[in-house]
Amino acid sequence: MEKTTFAFEKITQELLDFLRQSPSVFHAAATMKEMLEAAGYVRLLEGQAWKLEPGRGYYVTRNDSALIAFFIPKKDFAGFQVMASHGDSPVFKVKANAEIEVEQHYVKLNVEKYGGMLCAPWLDRPLSVAGRIVVRTEAGITTRLVWVDRDLLIIPNLAIHMNRNVNDGMAFNAQKDMLPLFCGGGEDAKGSFLKLIAREAGVEAEDILDTDLYLYNRMQGTVLGLNGEFVASPRLDDLQCAFASLKGFLAAEPKDSVAVHCVLDNEEVGSGSKQGAASTFLKDVLRRINDGLGRTEEDYLTAIASSFMVSADNAHGIHPNQPDKGDPTNRPYLNEGIVIKYSANQKYTTDAVSGALFKMLCERAGVPYQTFHNRSDILGGSTLGNISTSQVPLNTVDVGLPQLAMHSCCETAGVKDTAYLAEAARVLFSTSVRGLGDGDYRLE
Ligand code: CO
């Protein structure tokens, strides 16, 4: 095995920058666009004809929140090498008509849950708002990203004196307990939320027709532990994988297969949107690549059989205070490598073939891997891999980076694992997994 040296500190700082620049799913897509354009990738629009050339890289977005980038090798390609992750995270979304005045002395914002978050970590910390607004133009509408980059909101806890049993377990009512305080009350306060958003976007409040605005945790990601071995940040699930996938993608040299970096939206709410894994987004892109290069339907199906997809979504590491929540014989720890996830019920797509192929790729990359199963008496979560394969039946493995406190607004992971996944992604994107028979493959 080739000995690989990793720049753990450097990639961790880059990851933290990426996370800071990505306070919402729309900003995560915008941050990736910038990185791709800096590397010479050309933007395509779904609503225009694509003129594709071998030896070049492109990217396309859907809904400004899902992004697929691909690189076409110089010679006719054997298949697609895909890494798919997701850009969304559990969060609170600001509702329409958001202002709620409380006894003429406070204004709070009406919000609702997006996905299944741990509620407690959102309390008693500075928060703000990011997302997109849609404004009227003379001829139609246009979309603007908005990022209020200052401490703006807080969701205050109730004092323990008024809730003596709180430390024995608290049931959070999303409509009652989770609304953030925005400002003091009075006549002047009316309409001030949209006015603030309009000012931040440089538009008139009357021109804002609709919004997709989300709260975000103002705490910035940081490195901690005696030897700086851990990273704590909002949105590690799944931007740590999305970032590692893009790093590997930009460093790869695809020779025989099309490399496809795919970051989908709405994984946290079941992937059922037009920009989620259940949609045709990935399939549409792969078909347009195939057709755009003058290839036939037979060529497409042949390519699908010689393709491999890594569904990369963060995994549960063994918890230091709750080690018995993990499976007795599969014990993933932070900083000990990429986690291959298994589920007999196919909540994860990994089977013996895709697991074995991924282990081969890790060996070629010189990176460690670990395995995850749920305890047999714990239901566990799911991810986008098996949803995506109903649209594009790719040979798929489910993996992730080990982390703690999944779906908290501050999650903890290992500084080494980002580099491991980036390197595995680089090898994945530079390799072809050629189908020889059903279950037999050659890595080229
Ligand atoms: Co996830």
Concatenating the DSSP letter of every residue in 347-370 gives SS---HHHHHHHHHHHHHHT--EE
Antiparallel, parallel or unpaired: β 369-372 and 338-341: parallel
* Gap from CA of 267 to ligand 1 centroid (Å): 7
Confidence of residue 379 (pLDDT cuts 50, 70, 90): confident
CA–centroid distance, residue 240 to ligand 1 (Å): 10
Of 41, 354, 410, 43, the closest CA to residue 216 belongs to 410
Dist. CA 417–CA 422, nearest whole Å: 9
Do 312 and 243 form a contact (C-beta atoms < 8 A)? no
Structure tokens at 19: 């996370």
**397 CA to middle of ligand 1, Å?**
15
- How many Å lie between the centroid of ligand 1 and the Cα of residue 382? 8
Virtual torsion, Cα 418, 421, 426, 429, nearest 10 deg = -140
User: How much distance in Å is there from the Cα of 153 to the middle of ligand 1?
Assistant: 26
State yes or no: pLDDT of 3 exceeds 70. no
Expressed in angstroms and rounded, the spacing between residue 276 Cα and the centre of ligand 1 is 13
Structure tokens at 389: 């394969």
Ligand 1: distance of its center to the CA of 168 in Å? Answer: 29
Q: How far is the CA of 219 from the centre of ligand 1 (A)?
A: 20
Strands (E), 137-235: 141-147, 181-184, 208-217, 222-224, 230-233
For ligand 1, the distance from its centroid to the CA atom of residue 418, given in whole angstroms, is 15
pLDDT at 382: 82
Asked if the model's pLDDT at residue 159 lies above 80, the reply is: yes
Q: What pLDDT, on the 0 to 100 scale, is given for residue 357?
A: 97
User: Strands 402-404 and 315-316, how do they pair?
Assistant: parallel
- The CA 237 to ligand 1 mean position distance, Å, reads 5
Contact by Cβ (8 Å): 361, 443: yes
pLDDT in tens, 242-269: 999 999 999 999 999 999 999 999 999 9
Amino acid 143: pLDDT: 97
pLDDT of residue 410: 98
Q: Measure 198 CA to ligand 1 centroid, in angstroms.
A: 32
Ligand 1 geometric centre to CA of 227 (Å): 27
With CA atoms as reference, report the closest residue to 433 among 387, 401, 398, 397.
397
Mean pLDDT of 189-206: 96
- Mean pLDDT (whole number) for 266-289: 95
Predicted pLDDT of residue 337: 98
Q: Whole-angstrom Cα distance, residue 111 to residue 92?
A: 6
Q: How far is the CA of 209 from the centre of ligand 1 (A)?
A: 31
Residue ranges with strand state E in 115-180: 127-136, 141-147
Quick check: 1 pLDDT over 50? no
Within 10 Å of residue 322's Cβ, how many Cβ atoms? 9
CB 426 within 8 A of CB 259: no
Arithmetic mean of pLDDT, 64-78: 97
Name residues whose C-beta falls within 8 Å of residue 444's C-beta, 6 or more positions apart in sequence.
78, 255, 256, 431, 432, 433, 434
> What percentage of the chain reaches a pLDDT higher than 70?
99
User: Rounded to whole angstroms, how far apart are CA atoms 246 and 388?
Assistant: 19
Give the per-residue pLDDT at 132.
Answer: 98
Give the pLDDT confidence score for residue 2 in this predicted structure.
45
| pLDDT recorded at residue 226 | 98
The 10s digit of each residue's pLDDT in 225-247 is: 999 999 999 999 999 999 999 99
Summarize the confidence of residues 340-347 as an average pLDDT: 94
Residue 435: pLDDT over 90 = no
pLDDT at residue 413 above 60?
Answer: yes
Question: How many Å lie between the centroid of ligand 1 and the Cα of residue 277?
Answer: 12
Dist. CA 383 → ligand 1 center (Å): 7
Structure confidence by residue, pLDDT tens digits, 301-318 = 999 999 999 999 999 999
Distance of CA 388 from the midpoint of ligand 1 (Å) = 14
Q: What integer best gives the mean pLDDT of the chain?
A: 96
pLDDT of residue 224: 97
208-229 per-position pLDDT tens digit: 999 999 999 999 999 999 999 9
Distance from residue 313's CA to the centre of ligand 1 (Å):
5
Q: What angle do CA 28, 131, 135 make, to 5 degrees?
A: 125
- Displacement of CA 121 from its chain's centroid (Å): 20
Ligand 1 centre and the CA of 238: distance in Å? 5
State yes or no: pLDDT of 390 exceeds 90.
Answer: no
Tell me the CA–centroid distance for residue 137 and ligand 1, in Å: 36
